[in-house]
Structures are given as C-alpha cells and as structure tokens.
Amino acid sequence: MSAHHPEPSRRAFLGGSLLFVAGAAVGCSTDPTGGSAGGRTTLDVWFHAYGEAGTQQAATRYAESFTKANPDIAVKVTWVPGDYTGKLNATLLTSAAPDVFEIGDFNVGLARRGQIAALDDVYGSDKADFGAGDLDYVTVDGKLYGIKTLDDVMMLYYRKSVLAKAGITPPTTFDGLAAAAKALSSKAAKGLFVGNDGLGDSALLAVRSNGGDLVTDGRVAFASPQAVEAVAGLRRLHDDQSLLLGFTTDWWDPSAFTQGVVPMQWCGLWAMPAVTAALGEDFGVLPWPAFKAGGSPVLRVGGWTSCVNAKGKHVDAAKKFVRWLWVEQTALQKDWSESYGFHIPPRTSVAAGADKLTRGAAKESVELAAKYGRNNPNTWDSAVAAAFNAAAAKIVAGQGDPARLLADAAAQAQADVDKQRA
C-alpha cells in the first residue's frame, strides 16, 4: 500500500464512490461535495486507489460497519485513481474538499495553513500505544495532526540461489552492493532494480547511509559533505551499467524480481506475499547497506496517514470516524495491515498480534525496520523531494558538479521548507 503504488484505473478524475447510510450501500456520483442524506451527516472519505486486491472492498466494508454503529452519520467512500496527491491538493483549495482523507507524505504545511485539524483528542489515552516515530512524524508545534494507518517498510530483496551460485555474499556496504550488481549483470540482464529512472529512493538512502540527513530542525541538510559523497557514489551503478531501467512496472511492484529479470530489487514489505508465492523461500531481505565503514544501513519507512479537513462542515463527525476506525477498531487495523499485502500496524499492541509478521522474512523485515527504519522528514513535501531528486538525477548522469548541484537544490528546497513552517 505504498504511496508509490501504480493505480489500477485512470478512467476518470475520481474512480467512483459508495455512500453508506445506516449500513446500506447505495450508488453515488463522483462529486465529492459531502452534504447530508435523509437529515444525517454525510462524511466524504477519500482513499487513493491501492494496488492490492481487496483494499477497496475492505474500505467500504469498514465504512458500512461504522454506519451500523453510528446511524446518524453516513459515509461516502471515494476511491481516487491516478494522481491522488495532485487531485487532493487541488480539491483542498475548494469547498468540495473531503472531510477525511489519507496522505502518503505528511507535511507540516498542511497544519500550518490550517487545512487539517489537530487530533490529540482523537488519540486520547491510546496515544501511548502508537510508535514514537509515527507520533513525531505527525507532530507540529506540539500537536498531533494525523494518525498513521499503516507503516510501509521498504528494503532490498535478493535471490538467495542466484547470489550463492555466483559466490556473492549478501552485501553489507555500498561497495559490496555495487560489486554484486556488476557481477550479476550481463548484456542480457542487469543485477539491480531501484526504479525505472535508475534512482528511486537510492539517493535519499545513500545520504542517510553515510551519516547524512535530509532536513534537520527545519534546515535542509542534503548538501552536506556526507550527502555529496554518497549521492556522487551512486554514479558507479550507472557507469557499471548494472541497473535495470524502463521495466514494465516500477520498483514498488515485485514483478521484475519474481519473474527473474533481476536478482536484486528495492521494493516493499507489501510485496512479500507475492514474492513468497512466486519464489517460496528463495529470497532474503536486506537494508540499504552502509555507504562505507562508519555509516549505517537504512530502510525507508513510509505509509499512509489519515487526516481531518479542518475547514470541513463536519469536523466532529470526521474525528469520530477516524477515532472509530484507526484507534478503537484494532481488529480492522490488523486486517488492513496484513490481509492485503504486508504492512506494520502503527499501534504497538496491534503489531504484536499481527501473526503473519512474526515468522520468516516478514519477521526479519520488521526487526530490520525497528533497528534501521527511517521516516522522511515531515517537511519532505513534493517540492522539496523534486528539488533533491532533480539534482541527484543530474549527478548520477554526470551532468554537473555534485556539490554545486546539491547546494543549489538545497537552497531551492529551503525556500519551500520555510514556507511550510511560516
């Protein structure tokens, strides 16, 4: 359920919605204006179009259960395919904004601009059951502005048999990864897939694996000497022609790995059921390796966050829905995290009961995430990420001085971060 998952349908601006009134589902137009139904409050709840089968049915089933428990509140589930973030940002500027919506990359600007409501009262006494990293991620000026609905862990998958046959030990440093990718490449195949653009998450992972950071206390940090060294080091993968480029699906889909196109791929925990079905136990998982001695392995932790529209007409009802689903209904939270791909429940008690994550490679992934997992900063919005990624793309292509490119990108990104924090 990554924020980067491909959308299964692009047939319309909105993929359609269902309205649940006292537990009954009725067809509804794609106009997300909210309003009321039969005198009831009507909440418009947006989800992006998840890639895993069964997710839309689960979301609508949850909504139906809520209306049964709260017959005075109707819920319209709006399933949004295509560019979810772009559509959401555009709609938040209008009166048609949804009452409840999820976001893949939380950023402080939404809170500072008054677009999302503080949810401290929604957490209540259950706050202590949420992971510290997830709480920090949604904290702005000491208040909580979202509730993580799942944690997505991203890591490196590798084929045990292929590496063993080549006499390659699973890499623990970037030099080892680059050497393995080169050794496993040929004219007919490539050793590593990080994304169709040859970059994916690798640049931000490289920075953190060398002791650098992205944004620290409101200051953009990705132009540090450690960051420059690590991002420049990624060029080796391109010079060695070790990367798979332009595959039919991108890094968040495991097809290149499961179909034997590459023996190593950066992907997510959500893909593990599909990987296991295709390969059995012939795979392992690794963090992105330390750039060099003294650095640290790293996994990226992403996921989705539920927020309430602070400017909506039904803030109290929206908060009630969010608390019901993401705080009170622990069985549904467990279902959401382990029945449609694998994800880590943000609540500690729910994660402890997620049986499918307690064995094999899934368990190892959870343990690695606890040790090496890093969230992106909550100032890492699309503009900041775009500035960084554009500079990284030029660096790996040998199109300029790495230090100058990252310094210029950092200055551009800092202006955006300052706007968010104003």
Provide the residue range defining the domain that includes 284: 153-300+377-421
Residue 172 CA to residue 186 CA, distance in Å, equals 23
DSSP single-letter state for residue 287 = P
Identity of residue 203:
A
Task: Identify whether residues 396 and 271 lie together within a single domain.
Answer: yes
Residue 125 CA to residue 306 CA, distance in Å, equals 18
Asked if the model's pLDDT at residue 36 lies above 70, the reply is: no
Task: Identify whether residues 223 and 209 lie together within a single domain.
Answer: yes
Higher pLDDT, 2 or 305: 305
**Which residues, other chains included, contact 264 with Cβ-Cβ below 8 Å and sequence gap of 6+?**
156, 157, 158, 159, 177, 180, 181, 184, 191, 192, 193, 257
Task: Identify whether residues 133 and 179 lie together within a single domain.
Answer: no
Beta bridge mates, 79: 47
- Asked if the structure places residue 10 within a domain, the reply is no
Residue with tokens 């694998």, as numbered in its chain: 342
The predicted structure's pLDDT at residue 32:
34
The domain boundary residue, chosen from 334, 352, 370: 370
* Percentage of the chain exceeding pLDDT 70: 91
- Asked if the structure places residue 406 within a domain, the reply is yes
Residue with tokens 């960051």, as numbered in its chain: 227
53, 7 contact by CB (below 8 A): no
> What pTM did the predictor assign?
0.86
Asked if the model's pLDDT at residue 189 lies above 60, the reply is: yes
Task: Identify whether residues 255 and 338 lie together within a single domain.
Answer: no
263, 162 contact by CB (below 8 A): yes
Task: Identify whether residues 385 and 271 lie together within a single domain.
Answer: yes
Higher pLDDT, 6 or 52: 52
Average pLDDT across the chain, whole number: 90
Total domains, the chain: 2
Domain CATH code at residue 59: 3.40.190.10
- Asked if the structure places residue 144 within a domain, the reply is yes
- Asked if the structure places residue 11 within a domain, the reply is no
Task: Identify whether residues 213 and 288 lie together within a single domain.
Answer: yes
Beta bridge mates, 290: 173
The predicted structure's pLDDT at residue 52:
86
The domain boundary residue, chosen from 370, 386, 412: 370
Mean pLDDT for 203-216 is 97
For 290-349, write each residue's pLDDT tens digit. Answer: 999 889 999 999 999 999 999 999 999 999 999 999 999 999 999 999 999 899 999 999
Asked if the model's pLDDT at residue 245 lies above 90, the reply is: yes
For 15-26, write each residue's pLDDT tens digit. Answer: 455 554 444 443
Q: 208: left (phi > 0), else alpha (psi -120 to 50), else beta?
A: alpha
Asked if the model's pLDDT at residue 38 lies above 60, the reply is: no
- Asked if the structure places residue 7 within a domain, the reply is no
- Selection from 108, 142, 125 nearest residue 347 by Cα: 125
Neighbours of 161 (CB within 10 A): 11
The domain boundary residue, chosen from 349, 370, 391: 370
Task: Identify whether residues 28 and 125 lie together within a single domain.
Answer: yes
* Three-state SS at 267: strand
Task: Identify whether residues 162 and 239 lie together within a single domain.
Answer: yes
254, 157 contact by CB (below 8 A): yes
Interhelix angle 402-421/382-396, nearest 10 degrees: 180
Which token pair is 144? 């909580």
Task: Identify whether residues 347 and 229 lie together within a single domain.
Answer: no
For 291-308, write each residue's pLDDT tens digit. Answer: 998 899 999 999 999 999
Task: Identify whether residues 37 and 125 lie together within a single domain.
Answer: yes
